[in-house]
Amino acid sequence: MQASSRPTVLMAEREEARAPGDLAPQLLVVLDTEEEFDWNAPFDRDARSVEAMEDIGAFQELCDEFGIRPTYVIDHPVASQERGQRLLREYAADGRAVIGAHLHPWVSPPFEEGVTSVSSYPGNLPRELEARKLEALTETIEEHFGRRPTIYKAGRYGFGPHTTTLLERLGYEIDLSACPAFDLTADGGPDWSRWSAAPYWFGGGRHLLGIPTTGAFVGWLSKAGPALHSAAGRPPLSWIRSGALLSRSGAVERLMLSPEGYEPAHHLRLTAALLARGVRVFSFSLHSPSLRPGCTPYVRSQAQLERFIRSCRQYFEWFLERLGGEATTPGELRERLDTHRTEPSQPPTKA
């Protein structure tokens, strides 16, 4: 098993998905929809409880209010248990939400690998095992939701060297696994630190659309961000490990478009910086267990949950009402970017 995979090499064959010049900023909302687990403990095959799925209603209603159809990328414990399926089936049937697949290998059959932090990134698994796990998950979703998923997000952003061909074989069209600005190699995961936040076409015939989780280094030293962050882990720069000093000075901060660990001011700074760089597509993401207090480190109490939902509301309001952006889904966006790609650049002249 590989200790680390390098997506910058793995997906070297890709091209930026250019947006039409008049495209309003596009907003996607993605929920990693999964079992509750102890974020500070080793991975556990038996942690399959999906009780927190009963509490996703408040967030769905917030999305409904703004006309946002969130994408729930669901993993095996959610897809295979009634408690996980119930509300999602209703939302999907009403056209209020979209269902995709999310692979957490340690709770996704077949169970053949040892459970370690390296094997928790599905892209690190041997080719055949990654394939059989994703096949089983895809079929479970199809069986319970009546439709085969075409949107994938690797658990732990763990896209690997075999993932592209696997997605193609299983009929996937969209991948949400990229996590720009974050280097996960210390834990055995991929290095996304130099990855762009813009969507891209990849795979044979550039048929697959990659839409990254929105993240970036922001600030006047942002170009040096990846190098600073990797240097910061080693002496003599370990004093900036937290990034606090640099970030207080406005030099560089690493931001993600998520209510988990980031505040509305971060969301705005990140979005403004990326808009200035020409990025038009924004993917706001969170984990479903954060919607029940006590399940993730980000939401420990009812008061924190209210604050969490409020920060989502603030961003949606700002993006859709003040900025003039539009809510979209991965499938709608793919269609739009694909149409733009195939349009002739000059209007055809009559012979």
What is the closest distance, in whole angstroms, from the C-beta atom of residue 287 to Zn ion in the complex? 7
Type of residue at 91: Y
Choose between 102 and 254: whose C-beta lies nearer to Zn ion. 102
With CB under 5 A as the rule, give the number of residues binding Zn ion.
3
The nearest distance, CB 101 to Zn ion, in angstroms, is 11
**Cα radius of gyration (the chain):** 20
Instruction: Determine contact, residues 49/35, Cβ cutoff 8 Å.
Output: yes
105 near Zn ion, judged by CB under 5 A: no
Residue least distant from Zn ion (Cβ): 32
Question: If you search the block for the tokens 């074989």, which residue do you land on?
Answer: 169
| Shortest separation between residue 100's beta carbon and Zn ion, angstroms | 12
Stretch that binds Zn ion, among 40-48, 59-67, 127-135, 148-156 (CB under 5 A): 148-156
Q: Smallest distance, Å, CB 75 to Zn ion?
A: 6
Q: By C-beta, is 31 or 337 nearer to Zn ion?
A: 31
* C-beta closer to Zn ion: residue 34 or 183: 34
Which residue lies nearer to Zn ion by CB, 39 or 111?
Answer: 39
In sequence order, which residues have a C-beta less than 8 Å from that of residue 253 and are 6 or more positions away? Answer: 217, 218, 219, 243, 246, 247, 266, 269
List, in order, residues 6 or more apart from 30 with CB less than 8 Å away.
70, 71, 73, 153, 176, 213, 283, 284, 285, 286
State yes or no: residue 77 binds Zn ion (CB under 5 A): no
Question: How far apart are CB 143 and Zn ion at their closest, in Å?
Answer: 21
- How many Å apart are CA 310 and CA 330, to the nearest integer? 24
Residue 32 makes contact with Zn ion by CB under 5 A: yes
- Cβ proximity to Zn ion: between 122 and 325 the closer is 122
d(CA 124, CA 115): 12
Between residues 7 and 155, which has the closer beta carbon with respect to Zn ion? 155
User: Of 32 and 173, which has the nearer Cβ to Zn ion?
Assistant: 32
Q: Is 191 in the site for Zn ion (CB under 5 A)?
A: no
Q: Does 155 bind Zn ion (CB under 5 A)?
A: yes
What residues contact residue 338 under an 8 Å CB cut-off, 6+ apart?
209
Q: What distance in Å separates the CA atoms of residue 31 and residue 310, rounded to the nearest whole number?
A: 17
Count of positions (residues) in the chain: 351
First to last CA, the chain: 59
Smallest gap from residue 7 Cβ to Zn ion (A): 17
Other CB atoms within 10 A of residue 338 CB: 16
Read off the amino acid at residue 1.
Answer: M
Nearer to Zn ion, 34 or 113 (CB): 34
The minimum distance between CB 256 and Zn ion, in angstroms, equals: 14
Taking CB under 5 A as the binding criterion, the range among 154-162, 305-313, 329-337, 342-350 that sits at the site for Zn ion is 154-162
CA distances (Å), origin 200, targets 115, 121, 146, 210, 338: 32, 22, 29, 5, 11
Query: Least distance to Zn ion from the beta carbon of 246, Å?
Result: 29
Residues lying near Zn ion in the complex (CB under 5 A) are found at 32, 34, 155
